[in-house]
Structure 1
Amino acid sequence: MNAGSCLCGAVRYTVADLLRPVIACHCQQCRKTSGHHVAATSAPREAVEIKGAVTWYASSATARRGFCGICGSNLFWDGPGSNLSIFAGTLDGDPGVRLTGHIFCADKGAYYEILDGLPCADADDPDLTTQV
């Protein structure tokens, strides 16, 4: 069981299933909402129990982003598929998953390089984002 929360603690969640390895997303939307790239894991939606009021923003026709309406912490990305993406930095302690790759690298910010040697995809990569 993993748990996490926003910065102020008004939104807390638990995950009663295995987490997907962490993937860094460098798309423009992730960079705009986080101020850098996003590192996210995911789990089946039904395995995530959320307590507190999440504010949802429809960031595209197919996805929405969940954040705390009090402190503004980015918590979730909810799009197509059966999993809910969870921003890895909001997990408490060591969740037991590590960064395993990067997506939307063609959109990355000009001010940094990706030098960790992990797989990099120019756009979405189902082979990375559907790992368990």
Structure 2
Amino acid sequence: MPKGSCLCGSITYTVNGPLRPVVACHCQQCRKTSGHHVAATSALRGDIEISGEVAWYASSPTARRGFCATCGSQLFWDGPGVNMSIFAGSFDGDAGLRLAGHIFCADKGGYYDISSDLPCADTDDPKLTTQVL
């Protein structure tokens, strides 16, 4: 069971089910909240056990972002559907995941290039973002 936490350890989580491969999101919101792009996996909400108090920010009318109010670690993105996204860098150790592709590539920052042979969608790509293997 993959486990993760925030930087200070106030929030911990365990995933009791399959995880989707990691997808890099280059949208403006992800860039602004992380300072770069976000790399996230996802799991069924019911498969994620969270301990500690997650602070939530409604970043749009349909989604919210979960973070630690103490250390500021970004942990979750929760939007429509049955899955909740988990920021891949918050896992404790190797969760056995690999990057599967990039979304919102048209919004990427001008200071970097996406130099990978993986799929790169200009906007969202349901084939990448909704799968759980």
- TM-score interval (norm. to shorter): over 0.9
What's the TM-score once normalised by structure 1's chain length? Answer: 0.99
Q: Is it true that 1:32 corresponds to 2:32 in the alignment?
A: yes
How many residues of Structure 1 are paired with residues of Structure 2 in the alignment? 132
State the alpha-carbon separation in 1 of the partners of residues 76 and 14 from structure 2: 13
Shift of 1:116: 1.2
Pairwise mapping of residues 74-93 of structure 1 onto structure 2 (< 5 A)?
Answer: 74-93=74-93
Which consecutive aligned stretches of 4+ in structure 1 deviate over 3 angstroms post-superposition? none
2:121 alignment partner in structure 1:
121
Pairwise mapping of residues 1-132 of structure 1 onto structure 2 (< 5 A)?
Answer: 1-132=1-132
Match for 1:107: what amino acid? D
SS at 1:24 equivalent? strand
Identity of matched residues, %: 74
SS at 1:29 equivalent? helix
SS at 2:67 equivalent? strand
Q: Deviations over 1:8-48 (max 9, x none)?
A: 00000000001100000000000000000000000000000
State the alpha-carbon separation in 2 of the partners of residues 130 and 97 from structure 1: 16
SS at 1:80 equivalent? coil
List runs of 5+ in structure 2 lacking aligned partners: none
State the alpha-carbon separation in 1 of the partners of residues 94 and 10 from structure 2: 21
Shift of 1:94: 1.0
Shift of 1:96: 1.1
SS at 2:89 equivalent? helix
What's the TM-score once normalised by structure 2's chain length? Answer: 0.98
SS at 2:29 equivalent? helix
Match for 1:83: what amino acid? N
Q: CA RMSD in A?
A: 0.5
State the alpha-carbon separation in 2 of the partners of residues 61 and 96 from structure 1: 33
SS at 1:42 equivalent? strand
